[in-house]
Amino acid sequence: MADSPAILWVKSSHSTDNGGTCVEWAPSNITATGMVPVRDSKRVNGPVLVVSADAFVGLVRLARSTEL
């Protein structure tokens, strides 16, 4: 899945280019499958977490409410 040409990865707006928190997700996959792939942009061939759209919303809410 990490290198699939069908998946368009988008870097989180909270990620930085200087080695900060680098998270990517694939919003276009939601429409096709109802699932959201999430990965570490520094490890594009690494593991991919796939969650439901509802679970992804919960993850985003948690991240926004927590001081990281």
Structural domain span for residue 59 = 10-65
In a domain, residue 3? The reply is: no
Taking only the tens place, the pLDDT of each residue in 16-48 is 566 566 889 999 888 888 999 999 988 889 999
Q: Do 8 and 26 meet the contact criterion of CB atoms below 8 Å apart?
A: yes
Residue 44 in any domain: the answer is yes
pTM above 0.95, yes or no: no
Count CB atoms within 10 A of the CB of residue 55: 14
> What's the structural domain count of the chain?
1
Task: Give the tokens for residue 61.
Answer: 């809410």
Please, which pLDDT band fits residue 58 given cuts at 50, 70 and 90? very high
Query: Residue 65: helix, strand or coil by DSSP?
Result: helix
Secondary structure of residue 40 in the 3-state scheme? strand
Q: Is residue 2 part of a domain?
A: no
Give the pLDDT of residue 68: 57
